[in-house]
Amino acid sequence: MRIQSIELKHVSIPLKKPFKTALRTVLSAEDTILLIHTDDGQTGYGEAPPTAVITGDTNGSVQGAVQESIGNALIGEEIENIERIMDKLDKSIVRNSSARAAVDMAVYDLLGKRYQTPVYKLLGGYRDRIESDITLSINEPEEMREDALQAIAQGFTAIKIKVGCDIQKDIQRVKAVREAIGYNIKIRLDANQGWQPKEAVRGIRKLEDAGVEMELVEQPVKAWDLEGLKFVTDHVETLIMADESMFSPYDAFKILSMRAADLINIKLMKCGGIHQALKIVAIAEACGVECMLGSMVESKVAVTAAAHLAGAKKNITRFDLDTIYLLGENPVIGGVETQGPVLVLPKGPGLGIEEVKGLTDI
C-alpha cells in the first residue's frame, strides 16, 4: 500500500451558537479535509482547522504546506513504514502543525486499514469509549448558567468554563455556574492565556476560599510565560494545566522538568498529529503527570482521530472532545458515535470514517 496522491477539500459547518473564548469568536467550522489515496484504492482521511491565534495556521497555509512541501516528500512511500513516513513528514516542513496533523491522521487511518484494525487498538487499545466534557463560551453569567443547566440535562458530568477576559467578571461567571449545577458536576476553567500570573493566583484563591470547587484551571497565563505558569501552579491548590504552552515533546519535557504545570493538554493540531502525541504521552507518564486530550473547532474527522489516541493510552485521563456537540450539523459518515457525553470508538479498520459529505473544491 503506497501513497499515490494527496487531495485537499474544504468543509463548512455552522455552529449551533457562536463559540467565544478569550482569544476569538467562531461562528462555523471552516476546515481543510485531506484525503490520501493509495495505489490499491484505499483512502485515508485527515483534517486541519484554521486556528491562527493558537497554531498560526490558516486554510491557506495548510494547503500551501501540503501542496508545496509535504506531498512531494511522501508520494510513493509505503504506509507500513510509519517511522520513515513520519520522519519525512517532520523534515519536509517546520511548524505548520495542523497541516502535519492532517497528514499524520490520514496515514494512521490507512495503517489501520492495511492491518484491518481500528487505530485505537493499533496504538494500545486501553478503552473503547471515553467521556468528554463540554465547553461553555464566555458570555454573561446568566447565559452561562443556563448553558450549564442544559449541558447537565444532556448528561454531561464535567463542564469547562471559558474565562480570561475580566477576572472579576470571571469569578461571577464561575460562581453562577457552580451555584446552578451543585457540587456533583466537575468544573474546569480555561483562561486561554487571559490572566497575569499574580492576578490568576488572586482570582483562583478567591474561588477556592469561596468554596467553589474546581478540578483544574487551564492555561491561566501567556503561552510563553513558563515562569508565570509555574508561579501560579506553586501558589494555588487547584491543579493547573498547560495548553497553549505545550506544543511539542520538547515543550512537554521542559514544562514537566520545571514542574510548571500539574497536567498537560495534548491537541493533535498543536503537536502535529498522533505520532508526536504518543511521544508527549510517554514523557508525561514518565514524569507521573496525567494528560488531557483536547481539540480545536473540528469536524468528526479530527475528533475521531483524537478519540482513537485517547482510547489507546491509559495516561490520557481527561477528554475535551466536545466540538462535535457544538456543530449545527454533521456531514461525516462513520467515526465515533455519541451516547450523551460518551464517545464510542468505531470497530471498523482505521479511523472508521466512511465519507465526508458536502466537500467543496479548493
| pLDDT for res 154 | 98
pTM over 0.95: yes
Distance (Å) of CA 106 to CA 36, 162, 304, 327, 356: 6, 31, 11, 22, 13
To the question of whether residue 322 is assigned a binding role by annotation, the answer is: yes
Distance from C-alpha of 203 to C-alpha of 217, rounded to nearest angstrom: 11
- For residue 43, say whether it is annotated as part of any ligand binding site: no
Q: Which fold has domain 3-115?
A: Enolase-like; domain 1 (3.30.390)
The rounded distance, in Å, linking the Cα atoms of 40 and 2 is: 8
- How high is the pLDDT of residue 63? 98
Three-state secondary structure call for residue 271:
helix
Between 249-258 and 274-286, two packed helices, what is the crossing angle to 10 degrees? 20
190 annotated ligand binder = yes
Indicate the Cα dihedral angle 251, 239, 214, 166, nearest 10°: -50
Tell how far CA 175 is from the center of its chain: 26
pLDDT for the residue 321:
99
Catalytically annotated residues:
162, 267
pLDDT at 276: 99
3-state DSSP call for residue 32?
Answer: strand
Asked whether residue 243 is marked as a ligand-binding residue, the answer is: yes
- Coil, strand or helix at 330: coil
262 is in an annotated binding site: no
First to last CA, the chain: 27
What would the grid cell of residue 174 be? 464561575
The superfamily in CATH containing domain 121-356 is Enolase-like C-terminal domain (3.20.20.120)
Q: What is the DSSP pairing of strand 158-162 with strand 134-136?
A: parallel
299 is in an annotated binding site: no
Query: What's the pLDDT at 108?
Result: 99
Provide the grid cell at 44: 485515508
User: In this predicted structure, what is the pLDDT of residue 45?
Assistant: 99
What sign does the CA torsion over 289, 290, 292, 293 have? Answer: positive
Residue with cell 494512521: 108
Contacts of 18 (CB under 8 A, 6+ apart): 25, 26, 27, 137
Domain boundary assignment for the chain: 3-115, 121-356
State how far the Cα of 2 lies from the Cα of 169, in Å rounded to an integer: 55
Residue 297 labelled as part of a binding site: yes
Rounded to whole angstroms, how far apart are CA atoms 244 and 222? 8
- State the 10-residue block means of pLDDT for the chain, 362 residues long: 99 98 96 99 99 97 98 98 99 98 99 99 99 98 98 99 96 98 98 98 99 99 99 99 99 99 99 99 99 99 99 99 98 99 99 99 95
Contact between 110 and 36 under an 8 Å Cβ cutoff? The reply is yes
d(CA 223, CA 9): 31
Burial 49-71 (b: 16+ CB within 10 A, else e): bbbeebbebbbebbbebbeebbb
Residue 320 marked as a ligand binder: yes
